[in-house]
A and B are shown apart, each in its own frame.
Chain A
Amino acid sequence: MCGIVGLYAKKENISANLGLHLSKMLESMSDRGPDSAGLAIFGKPIAKRTKIMVQSQFPEDDFQKLKKFLSTKKEISFSFETHSTHAVIKLDVKQKDKVINLINDTFPNLRILSVGKKMEIYKEVGRPAEVVKRFEIAKMKGSHGIGHTRMATESAVTTLGAHPFSTGEDQCLVHNGSLSNHNSLRRELMRKEMTFETENDSEVAASFISYRMNSGKTLKEALESALVELDGFYTFVVGTENGFGVLRDPIACKPAVLAETPDYVAFGSEYRALTSLPKIEKAKVWEPEPATVYFWGH
């Protein structure tokens, strides 16, 4: 199964409570996937700064070492926030590549979950209620966000197997379904020098979209090529710097509901995910068409 949610704020009253709304939405989908849960929250960018999200299995030890190590590099000015097993490093956008290389070279046990001016990814093993509490998602503000609760089918229940998967800077993907050609597609993408952390099918979808966009395609074009190249079942929600997109495979057996009001656009695997939203009873509610790319952006 798996459950997906997404919320795109058109008004301040929604963005001020984005984390709270998304937490409730994701918790309502717990029955669809109790294995792990995750969210991507797109907050306000700070001029010339970017964020690197790092995850560790042993955060107390690792993050202290990392912070100390980065402090020894006088040329790097950064701030360091920890949220349970995750840390957000905020730094000058020009120093981003250098710091990423430093982390990868010096701390092989740390995983970089995402990079971006707006996006922060939080994901862990456990039910949605535990995961949103662990990262205090309800306190977060933002223009939009997406979330996922996982019932694992194609790979192990691990933090890195949880969604969202980053597909590039300020971009990520969540997936409900299962892909049948992910092994051959992974091999193909590896030959094109894409790297993988897991055996997960959704990571292949994320990598496929990244690769297409790195090759100059727009998000819409990348998603349309997914319709041709990906075999299997999927409802994807893709979060980008400006908004979120939705794509269902042509068979469309994985459920999807969209709702729109003057204040927000919301996505849920089921209508239940939307019932906690303000004025939902007055929203335009509909099921997205198969094999059709939808997008809402600021």
Chain B
Amino acid sequence: MNILDFNKLSLRDINKTLQASDKNSFFSIKNPKGSHALAVGINKQITVKVVGSVGYYCAGMNKFSDIKVEGSAGPGLGENMMSGNIHVTGDVSQYAGASGHGGSILVEGNASSRCGISMKGVDIIVKGNVGHMSAFMAQKGNLVIFGNAGHALGDSIYEANIYVAGEVASLGADCIEKKMTKKHLSKLENILSNANVSDYNLDTFRRFGSARSLYNFNVDNAKIY
């Protein structure tokens, strides 16, 4: 195990070390003190444990690596991630997982507004609540919410799935509740077991997705284009 301590090293040195490390190496990062852009742009299978809370854009553009934050994360966690896993034991701020293409994000606390905005294939699991405008324009992937969802959930959603166990304050434009089929239950079970989440009751979840009336091309509207 390699220890990288912010009391001794700069953010740039720490990120360089992570990005240049060998496959399968393991790092523990100490005293992050809310630093921005920590562990970004990693594109190999390494494991990073961050002890403490981080600031903006942690683990952005992640590819292959497993990053765990033992604390909370600021805005833009895992922005545009491609694959790998991000696990935050505390809360996350705005737009966690924004435009993520793949991999998974597990948040044990709450996520604030715009969680999963424009997601393109990432799976995001939030054990607490999510704020308003979550899954806004979400295209692909799954947002699983154990707690409550804020206003305008799934506004202008494309083909992502949203699963909510708690209350939904309101749905956004073109987002509707959909039937939870056996296929979807088994998909949800897969998502949760892939993220090593075990304490859940599938029956409590409801499914939401696109009514497909907003983004479909309709020949009657051809003149408008």
Contacts and interface: CB of A to CB of B under 8 A. Distances in A.
Interface of A: 250-253, 255, 257, 270-275, 281, 285-287, 289-290
A270 B91 contact: no
Nearest to B31: A275
A220 to B, nearest CB: 22
Contacts of A250: 132
Contacts of A255: 74-75, 93-94
Contacts of A271: 34, 53, 55, 72, 74
B112 interface: yes
A272 B93 contact: no
Interface string B91-114: 101100000000000000010110
B55 A270 contact: yes
B33 interface: yes
A250 B151 CA distance: 10
Contact of B33 (A251, A275, A289, A290): A275
B35 interface: yes
Contacts of A253: 94, 113
Q: Which 8 A-B pairs have the closest CB atoms?
A: A271-B34, A272-B34, A275-B33, A287-B112, A271-B53, A275-B34, A252-B113, A270-B55
Interface in B24-56: 33-35, 52-53, 55-56
A281 B91 CA distance: 14
23 contacts: A250-B132, A252-B113, A253-B94, A255-B74, A257-B93, A270-B34, A270-B55, A270-B74, A271-B34, A271-B55, A271-B72, A271-B74, A272-B33, A272-B35, A272-B55, A274-B34, A275-B33, A281-B52, A285-B53, A285-B91, A287-B91, A287-B93, A289-B131
Pick from B72, B112, B131 the residue with the most CB of A within 10 Å. Answer: B112
A287 B52 CA distance: 17
B113 A290 contact: yes
A286 B113 contact: no
A251 B55 CA distance: 20
Interface of B: 33-35, 52-53, 55-56, 72, 74-75, 90-91, 93-94, 110, 112-113, 131-132
B20 to A, nearest CB: 26
Contacts of A281: 52
A209 B143 CA distance: 40
B72 A285 contact: yes
A192 B109 CA distance: 47
Nearest to A255: B75
A166 to B, nearest CB: 31
Given A287-B91, A287-B93, 6 more contacts: A270-B56, A271-B55, A271-B72, A273-B34, A281-B52, A285-B90
Contacts of A289: 131
A33 B91 CA distance: 26
B152 to A, nearest CB: 11
A290 B132 contact: yes
Contacts of B113: 251-253, 290
Contacts of A290: 113, 131-132
Nearest to B111: A287
A292 B90 CA distance: 22
A286 B94 contact: no
Contacts of A285: 53, 72, 90-91
A289 B131 CA distance: 8
B79 to A, nearest CB: 15
A250 B75 CA distance: 17
